[in-house]
Chain A
Amino acid sequence: MKRTLRVIALALVAGAIAFWAAAGANRGWTKTRVPRKIVDEVTGLEGIQWQNRFVPGVDFLGAALLGAGVLTGISLFIPAKSKGSKNQNKQ
């Protein structure tokens, strides 16, 4: 159990970093909308069209690190299985 929690914590951090990097390594806050420029051919005006898209930011990384920290913290309070207890169970 102790080991499982630590593996999950590690996977959470690694997965979050990989997702953040793959989404463009945004060093600002997480975005749920991104602007896209559109040009009106008649007037030459540049308009902005907002598209719904999730772009993770540093707060996303922070949340993942916090989650991993909590899992690691919980794992510290779980007693490790001793060889003696294993033998007792077998008997």
Chain B
Amino acid sequence: MKTKLTVLTLVAVAGVALAAPQTFDFKDPKGINNAGFKLDAPLESINGSASGVYGTVAFDPENPGATKGKITVATASLIVPNPMQKQHMLGDKWLDATKFPTIIFESKAFKNVQTVGDTTTANVIGTFTLKGVSKELTVPVKLTYLKDKLSERVPNQKGDLLVIRSNFSIKRSDFNINPGQFEDKVSNAIEINLSIAGASLK
């Protein structure tokens, strides 16, 4: 009886362990991960990107709808082609990178989850924090689970990859970034394009 209980316990523990989500680390050693942004104002179009992307996502290939995670972008890593524009953008009148060094998206729940093969699309409800202001957003995401592909990307490392792509838009006025000011040159709408890959080591 005692042996049976032990075996049952082990099976149950193994089952829980197998069903547990994998944690993917989004600090990219290849430097590909980026968050692009575009502001298309009547007088000026500003295109840039941020490379300082990091965070973790807990993803279960058997249950993608239960995915949870937090992705952070270092504000100081935002780059635009013009040095003066970059200085203004990170300065205290706009993003105030010294006082607000991170931009964060933290997921709360996945809705409308659809999985075909290794690819899952969903709408993620989460909290987006920019310049100290947090707002709840629903953003579309596409997750691609690449089992055992880590070694192809990073030699000498074995594991899985999770690719996240998302395009969404925010309004700078919602985040207290010079609301109502200079909208002919710096549009209120900011299009964000997230393209990141995370690794889960085995």
Chain A interface residues (CB < 8 Å from chain B)? 28-35, 38, 40, 42-50, 55, 57
**In the complex, which residues of chain B have a beta carbon less than 8 angstroms from the beta carbon of A35?**
47, 49, 81
Complex contact B81–A40 (CB within 8 A): no
Complex contacts, B144 vs chain A, CB 8 Å: 43
State the B residues within 8 Å of A (CB): 30-34, 36, 44-45, 47, 49, 51, 79, 81-85, 144, 146, 149, 152-153, 161, 163, 165, 195-197
CB of A37, distance to nearest CB on chain B (Å) = 10
CB contact under 8 A between A29 and B79, given known A43-B197, A48-B36: no
Which of A29, A30, A33, A48: most chain B Cβ within 10 A? A48
Q: Can you report 21 residue pairs joining A to B where beta carbons are below 8 Å apart? A: A28-B44, A30-B82, A32-B81, A32-B82, A33-B79, A33-B83, A35-B47, A35-B49, A38-B32, A40-B30, A43-B153, A43-B163, A43-B197, A45-B165, A45-B195, A47-B32, A47-B33, A47-B34, A47-B195, A48-B36, A49-B31
Known: A28-B45, A48-B36. A40 touches B79 (CB 8 A): no
| Bound complex: CA A57 to CA B163 (Å) | 37
The CA-CA distance from A55 to B153 in the complex, in Å, is 34
Picked from B32, B49, B84, the residue with its CB within 8 Å of the CB of A45 is B32
CA distance A31 to B196 in the complex (A): 26
Distance of A43 Cα from B154 Cα, bound (Å) = 12
Bound complex: CA A59 to CA B37 (Å): 23
A50 to B5, CA, bound (A): 61
Chain A residue nearest to B45 (CB atoms) is: A28
A44 CB, min distance to chain B CBs, angstroms: 7
Chain B residue at minimum C-beta to C-beta distance from A50: B79
Closest approach, in angstroms, between the C-beta of B76 and any C-beta of chain A? 14
Q: Which residue of A lies closest to B153 (CB)?
A: A42
* B82 → chain A closest CB, angstroms: 4
The reply to whether A31 and B81 form a contact with Cβ atoms under 8 Å apart is yes
Contacts of B197 in A (CB 8 A): 40, 43, 45
> Which B residues are CB-close (under 8 A) to A30?
82
With both beta carbons as reference points, the residue of chain B lying nearest to A53 in the complex is identified as: B81
When C-beta atoms are compared, the residue in chain A nearest to B164 turns out to be A45
Q: Are A48 and B49 in contact (CB under 8 A)?
A: yes
CB proximity of A42 to chain B, nearest CB, Å: 4
